[in-house]
Structure 1
Amino acid sequence: MTHVREMASADIEAVSTIRVRGWQAAYAGIVPRTYLDAMTVEADASLRRQRFSQPRGKSRDLVALGEHGPVGWVCFGSCRSPIPGPRRVAEVYALYVSPDLIGQGIGRGLLDEAHSRMKGQGFETSALWVLQDNHRARRFYERAGYRADGATEDDVYDEVTLTELRYRRAL
């Protein structure tokens, strides 16, 4: 069983490891191998330390703790892209679990806690972006009540264009 709490600066190395290993596992066969191989925990941790040293913005970072420290991470805040309508919309910016622990409910626990905190901040809807070809993540989010809303966005990774789909759900 894991416990979810706010991320602390002492969690940076663990979160960077989770994020980089998560990318390399989840996006193998989707994102070019050259891009994934170039990712390093050290570079990610350096950027994360820089971000942590700045005044806290409106984004929130939560970690799921296992026996030996963080095993999952979620980051969320106000939606970065305009969505028509009067509702206050939050966005899940990132959600990663240690690849060897996927399927144990850690991601769902992090997502549920993020949803609870979003709702507590007055948000009515949650949105997120997921790579079109990441079928595992799409199934995960669909089981959590998310649905594609028709919006797409293209990102380029080492000269390969990949499409992301925006998903939304009511809180």
Structure 2
Amino acid sequence: MNLTIRPAQPADANAIARIHVAAWQAAYAGIIDAAYLAALSAAQREGYWAQAIAQGAPEVLLAQDGSDGAVTGWIALGDCRDPGAPATRGEVWAIYVDPARWARGTGHALWRHAREHLLARGKAEASLWVLAANEPAIRFYTRQGFVPDADGVKSITVAGATLQELRYTALLASSGG
């Protein structure tokens, strides 16, 4: 696949929102309430992403297919939001790929570019939070060099259900190159 990774622009918000919703619906089926997932709307998320991209927080990089121009995935990153995190730690806030294009290298390409982006900003490590029940995502992150952080466990509530999230970290100089 011929991918271009580039910074997202506010005009990309619709494509980003569509992938966000489709990826949630596919990845979290059986983990998050089906009615909640079915009710997700790209239109509701588009405004958030347009504003976030315009403000630069988080920074969003997107993957675009060179053959058809389609946005195939995106990664949001920035400073680590965890209380007390060192200034040298960046965070992958989110990474989503169009489910129709899973397992084709898009996620790896996005992470590789994000890693270089964080290194250029003086970050030595990165962290991310992943639902404990999202085993495919955990396998992906592990292949990219992330390891579980024994102190990184928290509970979140989604659609009235309490879910466990796990923090994973990676040293940027040695991960997923």
- 1:20-169 correspondence runs (5 A): 20-53=21-54, 55-57=55-57, 59-66=58-65, 67-82=68-83, 88-150=88-150, 151-169=152-170
Structure 2 distance, partners of 1:117, 1:156, is: 31
Please give the secondary structure, in 2, of the residue aligned with 1:77: strand
1:80-128, CA deviations, whole angstroms, 9 ceiling, x for partnerless residues?
Answer: 00356x6610000000000010000000000010000000000000000
Structure 2 distance, partners of 1:133, 1:139, is: 11
> With structure 2 as the length reference, what TM-score do the two structures score?
0.90
Please give the secondary structure, in 1, of the residue aligned with 2:76: strand
Shift of 1:56: 3.0
Contact 1:87 1:124 in 2 (8 A): no
User: Where in structure 2 are there 5+ consecutive unaligned residues?
Assistant: 173-177
Shift of 1:47: 2.0
Please give the secondary structure, in 1, of the residue aligned with 2:74: strand
Q: Which runs of 4+ in 1 moved over 6 A?
A: none
**Counterpart for residue 14 of structure 1:** 15
RMSD of aligned Cα (Å)? 1.4
User: Where in structure 1 are there 5+ consecutive unaligned residues?
Assistant: none
Structure 2 distance, partners of 1:76, 1:51, is: 11
Shift of 1:49: 2.5
Q: In structure 1, give the amino acid aligned to 2:62.
A: V
Structure 2 distance, partners of 1:75, 1:131, is: 17
Contact 1:97 1:106 in 2 (8 A): yes
Q: Percent identity?
A: 34
Q: How many residues are treated as equivalent by the alignment?
A: 168
Contact 1:87 1:125 in 2 (8 A): no
Q: In structure 2, give the amino acid aligned to 1:34.
A: A
Q: In structure 1, give the amino acid aligned to 2:139.
A: R
